[in-house]
């Protein structure tokens, strides 16, 4: 396909598939501008703001401009943090517009052979298959435990990679052995009087690389009176696919997850990763045009809760919690805050811990620059955002940074490493800190 025909196909699909009403909902008021990290970090360039991106989408749809490299670059540079949505007086569903636009471009774009192979290998061959995720993660664990990681750093092998990736390798958590990931229990009884039955969405990376955090999540749920069921057959939420223009694959994964959770008569579906939760809660939109799945998706979404929300509902913060004296700050997961609208609960839990002095960070609600794989595909903008984030962290004088999403957690650890704060400041998932506080008390 020639470039001209490629652009013609993209423009046709913009005209026939983009939501005209949603595009027209944007009043161009500009309330989104101070909330958008890429607008601010780019020197306030309009094309890198939500308002500017919507204007470009509308112009392509109306045939006023071609979907050229500048349009694609504008959309690619978006973090997808959706900080624009809560501040929008018109309630524009920007995240849905962005995913639709990226899907149209991806479906009509002729990628290079290496990019096609990478996308197929990762998006089709790896993330939709939890057994393969376990196998790949176990290889990473062997690399860590064998000492090869230290050798690779010593001989300068990691210097062949971009700086952010090389630093990220240092801050990866210790990966469990394959046996631990492969043979997890599926049912857990409450440790006190039963208050609810919950189905736990374990995720792909969370149940491999962050298995200990998942185990801590289950433990906390047991301690507040939850019977916990881990449905078989669940897999990756599909967020990576949805954000990368692979909507059909994301739909397939959504259907499999809904099918798996339909087998469990649970009061709630619990997630402990903000990015996963935000995509899961959008399953009703993702499947709205499929009559046989639309109602099932709505039912699935109606049961979703973040771990911090259910812990507050079940009064976990009234338990005796204690940690050695320390200053703690909290970095919001963008999707947990902006999509699931969960932000008070994590703070309430942290403030309930004895020995903790909670310091609100300036711009805690602003993206850290992780955004899925954004820190890999857009390292310059990601590191620019992270460096400013770490300035605000240092202003709090915190020794512990808490967050609620694996990508954010790794990004904050990366920031600690880049700022030379290793050993003085730590980053931790809120679930792990709460279990630590309970065990210390």
**How confident is the model at residue 244, as a pLDDT?**
84
Out of 131-140, 299-308, 415-424, least confident range:
131-140
Bridge partners for 229 per DSSP? 187, 199
Instruction: Determine the Cα–Cα distance for residues 209 and 303; give it in Å rounded to an integer.
Output: 26
Residue range 394-423, pLDDT digits in tens: 999 999 999 999 999 999 999 999 999 999
Q: Helix crossing, 3-17 with 50-61: angle to 10°?
A: 100
Q: Which pLDDT belongs to residue 441?
A: 61
* Residue 433: closest CA among 312, 330, 306, 304: 330
Structure-model confidence comparison of residues 431 and 172, the more confident one: 431
Q: Which residue has the tokens 């290496």?
A: 114
Residue 340 or 157, more confident: 340
Contact status, residue 63 vs residue 11, Cβ threshold 8 Å: yes
Q: pLDDT tier at 112 (50, 70, 90 boundaries)?
A: confident
205 in Cβ contact with 178 (< 8 Å): no
Identify the burial level of 273 via C-beta atoms within 10 angstroms of its C-beta, where 0-12 means exposed, 13-18 middle and 19 or more buried.
Answer: buried
Residue 337 above 90 pLDDT?
Answer: yes
Give how far Cα 297 sits from Cα of 41, 150, 251, 265, 283, Å.
37, 46, 11, 15, 6
pLDDT of residue 41: 94
Q: What is the pLDDT of residue 173?
A: 84
Q: Residues of 126-137 as b/e, b for ≥16 C-beta within 10 angstroms?
A: bbbebeebbeeb
d(CA 272, CA 63): 43
Long-range contacts of 123-131 (CB under 8 A, 24+ apart): 123/240, 123/241, 123/244, 123/246, 123/249, 124/249, 127/204, 127/235, 127/236, 127/240, 127/241, 128/235, 128/236, 128/249, 128/252, 128/253, 129/235, 130/204, 130/207, 130/234, 130/235, 130/236
Calculate the alpha carbon distances from 319 to 270, 311, 348, 435 in Å. Answer: 21, 11, 13, 11
What is residue 357's DSSP assignment?
Answer: E
Read off the pTM.
0.92
Q: Look over the chain and give the mean of its residue pLDDT values, rounded to a whole number.
A: 92
| Two structure tokens written together for 200 | 């736990």
For residue 437, the Cα-to-chain-centroid distance in whole angstroms is 25
Residue indicated by tokens 């969370």:
206
So what's the pLDDT on residue 417? 93
DSSP three-state, residue 141: helix
Phi, psi of 230 (to 5 degrees): -105, 100
**Tell me: the pLDDT tens digits for 38-50?**
999 999 999 999 9
**Per-residue pLDDT band at 168 (split at 50, 70, 90):** confident
Only one residue has tokens 């694959």, namely 249
Q: What is the structure's pLDDT at 160?
A: 67
* Residue 390 vs residue 150, higher pLDDT: 390
What percentage of residues in the chain have a pLDDT greater than 70?
A: 99
Q: Is the pLDDT of residue 274 over 80?
A: yes
């Amino acid at each position: 396909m020639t470039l001209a025909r490629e652009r013609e196909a993209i423009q046709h699909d913009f005209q026939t598939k983009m939501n005209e009403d949603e595009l027209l909902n944007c009043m161009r008021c500009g309330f989104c501008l101070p909330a958008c990290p890429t607008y601010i970090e780019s020197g306030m360039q309009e094309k890198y703001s939500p308002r500017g991106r919507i204007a470009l989408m509308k112009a392509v749809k109306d045939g006023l401009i071609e979907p050229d490299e500048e349009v694609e670059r504008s959309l690619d540079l978006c973090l997808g943090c959706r900080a624009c949505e809560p501040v929008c007086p018109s309630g524009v569903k920007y995240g849905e517009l962005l995913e639709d636009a990226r899907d149209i471009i991806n479906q009509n774009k002729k990628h290079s052979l290496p990019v096609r192979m990478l996308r197929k290998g990762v998006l089709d061959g790896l993330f939709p298959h939890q057994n393969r995720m376990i196998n790949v993660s176990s290889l990473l664990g062997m690399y860590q435990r064998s000492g090869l990681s230290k050798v690779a750093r010593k001989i300068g092998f990691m210097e062949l990679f971009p700086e952010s990736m090389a630093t990220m390798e240092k801050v990866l958590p210790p990966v469990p052995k394959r046996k631990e990931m492969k043979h997890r229990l599926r049912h857990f009884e409450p440790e006190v009087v039963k208050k609810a039955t919950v189905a736990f969405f374990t995720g792909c990376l969370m149940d491999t690389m962050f298995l200990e955090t998942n185990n801590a999540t289950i433990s906390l749920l047991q301690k507040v009176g939850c019977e916990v069921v881990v449905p078989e057959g669940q897999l990756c939420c599909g967020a990576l696919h949805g954000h990368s223009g692979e909507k059909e694959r994301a739909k397939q994964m959504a259907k499999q997850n809904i099918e798996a959770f339909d087998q469990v008569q649970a009061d709630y579906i619990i997630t402990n990763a903000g990015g996963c939760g935000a995509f899961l809660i959008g399953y009703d939109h993702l499947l709205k045009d499929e009559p046989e799945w639309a109602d099932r998706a709505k039912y699935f979404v109606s049961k979703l809760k973040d771990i911090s929300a259910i812990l507050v509902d079940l009064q976990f913060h009234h338990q005796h919690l204690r940690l050695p004296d320390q200053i703690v700050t909290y970095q919001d997961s963008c999707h947990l805050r902006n999509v699931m609208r969960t932000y008070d609960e994590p703070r309430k839990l942290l403030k309930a811990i004895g020995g903790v002095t909670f310091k609100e960070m300036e711009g805690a609600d602003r993206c850290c620059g992780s955004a899925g794989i954004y820190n890999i595909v857009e390292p310059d903008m990601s590191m620019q955002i992270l460096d400013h984030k770490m300035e605000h962290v240092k202003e709090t004088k915190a020794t512990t940074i808490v967050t609620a999403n694996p990508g954010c957690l790794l990004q904050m650890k990366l920031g600690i490493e880049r700022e030379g704060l290793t050993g003085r400041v730590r980053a931790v998932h809120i679930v792990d800190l709460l279990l630590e506080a309970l065990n210390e008390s």
